[in-house]
Structure 1
Amino acid sequence: MVCHESDHVHLELLDPRHDPEPPGWEQLRRAAGQYVTWRYDLLRAYAWAAQTPVLLAVLSEGGIAVGAVLASLRGIRPRRGSYARGRDIAGVVDVQVPGSRSEKGWWFTGDPEPERRRELLRAYVRGVRQALGPGWRCVLWREVPSGESAQLPGVVKVRLPTAPLARLATPWTGIEEWYAWLGGTRGASLRSWARRLDADPGLSIGVGPARELVTGAEASVLRAENDLKYRNRLFPLAPLPQPYFDGLVASDEVVAVAYRDGRRLIGLSLTMDHPTWPICLSWGALAPEDGGRKHLYFDFYVRMVEWAIKAGKSGLVLGKGKAEIKRSLGADLVSSSAIAVPC
């Protein structure tokens, strides 16, 4: 743990592998409305398997926590496997949430004004540079919503295009209203596929708390297979280790849709619960030629929309990728960017 003071903002810089959980962290996370991905035991599990060091910064003023920033420290030397020794003397501070492209890597308590947010993030950048050294000359801010780039400190900002984020509002009283709202062939096909899968005698479909439906080992295998399809992104996210999934599925904040052929898991979605906007975190399934079923990808959205309606949620964050498919399901596509800022 390293502490820095910058612009009257106190920075507690933590390596989740070794540093203990900050006092009151879990209460702070929940009070700020942050998802389970920020739980400290999950950050620790990710950090031990990561290819680059992970740095959590807790920002405080007057002894009161006011925000947090999470980053991967991407050094100039290539590494293989997990890192075993310290960090590089130079590199990029990559602000991101491990395993989730639907969240920003920073947040604040309360609702500070935009200029105050900029001041807090400026203090973060200065404090991190003091801790890491002069070779760390750039911060990459991921998943910056449209209109928020002005809150990021720095004069020169390089915008890197990223996929839009799909958000589906769920104002309906039942799943049939959603089908009717979609209309045309999309609504009819979703209804038809769901009925066929329900009638499949060899298939069981479970929707509910993940800890009751799946193990961490099963979840990690399907997630890893799905991640292999998306390895061509800039700074691809490291594979999530099984201990991460062990903690994730054991949480009371994760909902699963699990498809089984007998005892064999052939499809799985994990969704991070939230009072208003749960996030669909991951999806994985076996191909039909490997024992899976057709149309499971579409069907899990049907199950989650039905769950969200019954649970009284405002909507679902469907995540990134396959934007046009998600638009066809009624989702709005919200633009965001990665922004590189030399410092």
Structure 2
Amino acid sequence: MSLTLQTLDPRHDPEPSDWEELRTAAGQTVTWRYDLLRAYAWAAQAPVLLTVLRAGGAAVGAVSASLRGVRPRRGVYVTDRDPAGLLDVHAPGNRSQKGWWFTGEPGPERRRELLRGYLRGIRAELGAGWRSMVWREVSPGEPALLPGAVKVRCPTEPLARLATPWSDLDQWYSLLDRARRDSLRRRARSFSADRGLSIEIGPARELVTGTEAAVLRAENDLKHRGGLFPVAPLPFSYLEALVGGDEVMALAYRDAAGRLLGLSLILDHPTWPICFSWGAVLPEDGGRKHLYFDGYVRMVEWSIASGKAGLVLGKGQAEAKRDLGAELVPSSVLAVPL
């Protein structure tokens, strides 16, 4: 069946009529909602190219990539596309996901076929000057599925995943090191009994405003600005749309005056929700110590009560997450000269 590509600049091109159907069929989280892709693209440091893969006219997958041109500047994609550059495949605004996905569960050979078709089509679209690609968040076994004769692999931070198959929180506690278990329990009891602190978990739109989320998220983003292509803080418009929707949960800590002291945003999913971001006020600025670890207690409890298969805890703080029982899944960046 022939493969065709529909390439889109989310800043300007309208949403495909079947995009939500495609996103839902592929089990993708809310960060792939088209209005959020548009908000992300307007704030991105390089133009975003979204590609819908169609087999026989039906949408079967998608790939998102940043166009890292030889003249890095905003606004070049539509009117003055760079003649050369590097195609950087990654999920918009979320390091816990891949920048490519498919509907159903295609086997390895079909995945290779689809990605090879993507590569051929994108090279024809961009021109011969676009001579290399970078694939991010590549899992073990995936390099063989990605197109290219020469591949250079660079390990990155692992992805932490915590299965939650238990019926209550005590079953999770029982698996932890005794010192860690005792400290988590003690702090959880202390925070729950503190009348000057409220702790709520529920739909984000009911617990937090876009402005509050943007402030804490920006502070968190500034801690992770390293690397070859540092990620710009997510804009207010993005976070306002994110927390105002139906697919995001929030864990919010507030003081007696109602000030937001800590916030975790969770991208809801039927089986594996993603812990999207954490931000907290520093203790020297009026915040509370140890909210970060207490947050995991609350989120694990929520996951168990909601019948989830587990939580994707994301990247960073790998050793601390392993101490909490998470599996660390190796991840890498794959550079492919074309």
What is the TM-score when the length of structure 2 is the normalising length? 0.96
1:117 partner letter: R
- 8 Å contact kept, 1:279–1:319: yes
Q: Distance in 1 between matches of 2:193 and 2:217?
A: 27
Point out where structure 2 has 5 or more consecutive residues left out of the alignment: none
| Matched letter for residue 25 of structure 2 | A
**Structure 1 residue ranges, 4+ long, deviating more than 4 angstroms after superposition:** none
Equivalence map 1:179-218=2 (5 Å): 179-218=173-212
CA distance in 2, matches of 1:224, 1:101: 16
* 2:90 equivalent to 1:88: no
**Hey, what's the Cα distance between the residues in 1 that align with 2:233 and 2:177?**
38
How far apart are residue 234 of structure 1 and its match? 2.6
Partner of residue 102 from structure 1, selected from 83, 96, 120: 96
User: 3-state SS of the aligned residue for 1:274?
Assistant: coil
The match for 1:292 is 287
What are structure 1's unaligned runs of at least 5 residues? 1-6
Provide the C-alpha distance between the structure 1 equivalents of 2:131 and 2:243, rounded to a whole number of angstroms.
Answer: 38
What do you get for the CA RMSD once the two structures are aligned?
A: 1.3
Give 1:268's aligned residue. 263
Identity fraction in percent: 69
Q: In structure 2, what residue type is equivalent to 1:54? A: V
CA offset digits 1:238-267 (Å, max 9, x no partner): 221111111110121111101111221111
Matching residue of 2:307? 312
> Is the 1:267–1:285 Cα contact (8 Å) retained in structure 2?
yes
Q: Does 1:52 align with 2:46?
A: yes
Partner secondary structure for residue 175 of structure 2: helix
2:213 alignment partner in structure 1? 219
Residue 328 of structure 2 is matched in structure 1 by: 333
What is the 5 A alignment of 1:125-164?
125-164=119-158
Counterpart Cα distance in 2 of 1:161 and 1:43: 27
Q: What corresponds to 1:240 in structure 2?
A: 234
Residue in structure 2 matched with residue 35 of structure 1 by the alignment: 29
Partner residue, 2:298? 303
**Which residue in the other structure is 1:71 paired with?**
65
Task: Tell me the distance in 2 between the aligned counterparts of 1:32 and 1:113.
Answer: 15
Instruction: Find 1:177's aligned residue among 171, 175, 200.
Output: 171
**Any conservation in 2 of the 1:168–1:315 contact (CA below 8 Å)?**
yes
Question: Secondary structure in 2 aligned to 1:44?
Answer: helix
1:10-56: CA deviation from partner (whole Å, max 9, x where unpaired): 10000001111001111110111111111100000111111110111
Letter in 2 for 1:275: P
Q: Deviations over 1:271-290 (max 9, x none)?
A: 11111111101001011001
> Larger deviation: 84-93 or 37-46?
84-93
Q: Secondary structure at the match of 2:111?
A: helix
Task: Give how far 1:119 is off.
Answer: 1.3
Match of 1:24 among 18, 38, 44: 18
Partners of 1:53 and 1:87 within 8 A in 2? no
SS of 2:297 mapped into structure 1: helix
1:303-334 Cα distance to aligned partner (Å, 9 max, x none)? 10000000000110100000000000000100
Among 118, 122, 128, the residue aligned to 2:116: 122
Contact preservation (8 Å) 2:46, 2:72? no
CA offsets 1:93-139 (integer angstroms, 9 cap, x no match): 11111221111100111111211111111111111111111111111
Cα deviation for residue 211 of structure 1 reads 0.5
- Letter of the structure 2 residue corresponding to residue 109 of structure 1: T
Deviations 1:33-80 (A, max 9, x none): 11111110000011111111011100001111111001111112244x
Cα 1:215–1:86, aligned 2, differ >3 Å: closer, same or farther?
Answer: farther
Contact 2:22 2:60 in 1 (8 A): no
Question: 1:19 is paired with a residue of what secondary structure?
Answer: coil
Read off the aligned partner of 1:209 and give its amino acid letter.
P
Letter in 1 for 2:143: S
Letter of the 1:30 partner, please give it: T
CA 1:206–1:86 in 2, change beyond 3 Å: closer, same or farther? farther
Contact persistence 2:217–2:277 (CA under 8 A): yes
Query: Does 2:272 match 1:277?
Result: yes
CA contact (8 A) 2:22 2:61 kept: no
